[in-house]
Chains A and B, each alone.
Chain A
Amino acid sequence: MNQDIEARKQELLNQGYTEVYTKTKVLTDAVMHYCPGCGHGTTHRLVAEVIDEMGIQDNVVGVSPVGCSVLAYNYFDIDFQEAAHGRAPALATAVKRLNPDTFVFTYQGDGDLAAIGTAETIHACNRGENITMIFVNNGIYGMTGGQMAPTTLIGMKSATTPYGRRVDINGYPLRITELISTLPGTYYVTRQSVQTPAAVRKAKAAIRKAFENQKLKKGLSFVEILSNCNSGWKMTPVQANKWMEDNMMPNYPVGDIKVDGKLVENVDVARLAVDHPLSVMQ
């Protein structure tokens, strides 16, 4: 198949076309299993582009989670470890401690990072491990079939909240990114998204910054990528992105939360909990 693509490319170039966009060399030729419209593919690409542009392909180790991105190691042409569910920050801690000059990142979803792996997440952040954490939040357990996640909004339907999440039964969603921003060990904490070209550009800049911080040995950098799960949300990709903008973004506001070890002005982490109680918008 790859030869076909290569042949077709040559054919077009011979016809006078110019190549303006190509696969990042840090991504493998493996066909991704992600659903069309899912944010994982884009986020993978952004991480791969940053690794490529920084010239660190030969000196980086990724740690994949359990969840939709469990097979991330098949898509990145770099050394990779696959962790038990939620434990990626513990793995990454040791990789970095034992190989301090190697770039290390985790790539995790919301169930992995904010439910089963909460302890590992908080303690890696609080120790200020000099690693990068990429956190893809789509408010649902995608791989297992769309069950409630720690980030599922109040009122949001899932396979285990078929009538919508209820506080009296399920408790509140967890804004883990704001939570870890209050820890002294985190140096850079940001929430981005990848549903528009403009958002993609900002997300890439954030990921780049997170890796640059690691190069400077500044401590832990944490990039949340707000994403959709059109399959789990039972919507078309376009509907899912719209729903994400209308419902997720007011509750999980996009932008930097902590930069260079300082909380960004006008970001009031405590106030957010009162003003935006994490409900689906009516």
Chain B
Amino acid sequence: MAKELKLMKGNEAIARAMIASGTDGYFGYPITPQSEVMETLMAEKPWEETGMVVLQAESEMASINMVYGGAATGKKVATSSSSPGISLMQEGLTYLAGAEIPCLVVNVMRGGPGLGTIQPSQSDYFQSVKGGGHGDYQLYTLAPASVQEMYDFVFDAWDIAFKYRNPVLILSDGAIGQCMEKLYTRDYVPRWTEEERRKNAPWGTWGKPANRPHNIITSLELDSARQEVFNHKLQAKYAEMKEKEVRYEMLNCDDADYIFVAYGSSSRIAMKAMQMAREKGIKVGLFRLITLFPFPTKQLADVAKHVKGILCVEMSAGQMIEDVRLATECNVKTEHFGRFGGIIPTPTEVLEALENKIIK
């Protein structure tokens, strides 16, 4: 497939990007609102075209552990789910991080807690960037705000995952997953050859040749001293990501008196609210997070020095706002606005919240 202009659902874009980016395997379990990912893959039959394996597992626990097994052989392996399913995967994610296995996990968020709702939400921020599973670990977390980014971030995910030997999370939501937008597809990246796999993943478990020691994929270390050394190594890796891999976008922040901080669907709504505010003569900018971990702490702190107030927009009770306040060290008035239960706020509501909570 060459570069083409298509009209596509976000979930379908994820699936097609997996095929186009040379993904070796996908293991998943149906859950609304992301079932189109596996449905698209099954309909496309990539095993006939690229040799990509697609399997419907018996549970999210099984699918994340299939990701562990497959990815531990040095192949590009992915899964996707939505919030309750991602909760079930937390055990697997901490093992993947602890065993330093590159892989891709997509969360198309819906509202919680519990079964909650099948409508869009952004209430898994804490789960995504503050742990989720046990132990000190981080997932490189990308937040797409368009169908195009759903597609592009799959390609980016593989680069980061293998560069750092770390799981990558694409944190999307039901709105981006379900909406249809135009999308430029890319040229296919072929799946790695056997030689490339061995070169790119020399740590992989594919069968021990006589000329190297056996490779072991494990997150277990019974010796406390060695475990601490390993923990330091992980932290150094996360520090390097913070230094080199932060992504964000600033719109109209240069002359802004006030800024919205948002990611994903909320950033699209905030963008419209920003335009409405500008039409009313209020100088508003948008600081859009693209990576949630690493968080653009320094960049946001710099912008915050020149503004009078920040409104965090997130479809949650206010999770991201904690990192915004940490970044700005609470030096500027910062409030949260969000809706729950799968209700998507309107730009008018967001602008009113800015006026009522920050400006007045």
Contact = CB atoms under 8 A, between A and B. Distances in A.
A60 interface: yes
Contacts of A87: 61-62, 65, 68, 92
Interface in A86-137: 87, 90-95, 97-99, 102-103, 119-120, 123
A79 B218 CA distance: 11
Contact of B58 (A77, A98, A123): A123
B189 to A, nearest CB: 17
Contacts of B99: 82
Contacts of A94: 25, 27, 53, 55, 65-71, 77
Given A87-B68, A91-B66, A120-B58, A99 B208 contact: no
B68 A79 contact: no
Given A57-B208, A90-B69, A91-B65, 14 more contacts: A61-B207, A81-B216, A82-B216, A82-B218, A87-B65, A94-B25, A94-B67, A94-B69, A95-B73, A98-B70, A98-B77, A119-B61, A119-B62, A123-B57
Q: Which among A70, A73, A77, A99 has the highest number of chain B CB atoms within 10 Å? A: A99
Contacts of B25: 94, 97-98
Contact of A99 (B55, B95, B206): B206
A241 to B, nearest CB: 29
Q: Which among B65, B68, B73, B208 has the highest number of chain A CB atoms within 10 Å? A: B65
A79 B214 contact: yes
A161 to B, nearest CB: 27
Contacts of B70: 94-95, 97-98
B158 to A, nearest CB: 15
A45 B203 CA distance: 25
Interface string B74-99: 01010000000000000110010001
B209 A58 contact: yes
Contacts of B216: 73-74, 79-82
Given A73-B218, A94-B25, A81 B61 contact: no
Contact of B55 (A57, A58, A59, A93): A93
B16 to A, nearest CB: 20
B220 A82 contact: yes
B218 A84 contact: no
A84 to B, nearest CB: 5
Contacts of A28: 214
Contact of B205 (A81, A90, A103): A81
Nearest to A77: B214
B188 to A, nearest CB: 19
Q: Range of interface residues on chain B?
A: 35 or more
B68 A81 contact: yes
22 contacts: A58-B208, A58-B209, A60-B207, A78-B208, A79-B214, A80-B205, A81-B69, A81-B72, A82-B219, A84-B65, A87-B61, A87-B92, A90-B57, A95-B73, A97-B55, A98-B53, A99-B207, A102-B73, A102-B207, A103-B207, A119-B62, A123-B58
Interface string A54-77: 000111110100000011011011
Interface string B189-224: 000000000000000111111100011111110000
Nearest to A87: B65
B342 to A, nearest CB: 30
Nearest to A64: B218
Contacts, number: 129
A92 B215 CA distance: 16
A59 B210 CA distance: 10
Interface string B24-65: 110100000000000000000000000001010111011101
A55 to B, nearest CB: 12
Q: Which among A73, A79, A93, A120 has the highest number of chain B CB atoms within 10 Å? A: A79
Nearest to B71: A94
A98 B68 contact: no
Contacts of A77: 208, 214
Interface in A153-182: none
Q: Which among A70, A74, A90, A98 has the highest number of chain B CB atoms within 10 Å? A: A98
Nearest to B58: A123
A98 B73 CA distance: 8
Contact of A91 (B53, B72, B91): B72
A272 interface: no
Contacts of A81: 68-69, 72, 205, 216-218
A83 interface: yes
Contacts of A83: 65, 68-69
A52 to B, nearest CB: 13
B230 to A, nearest CB: 14
A61 B62 contact: no
Given A77-B214, A79-B214, A99 B61 contact: no
B207 A90 contact: no
B45 to A, nearest CB: 15
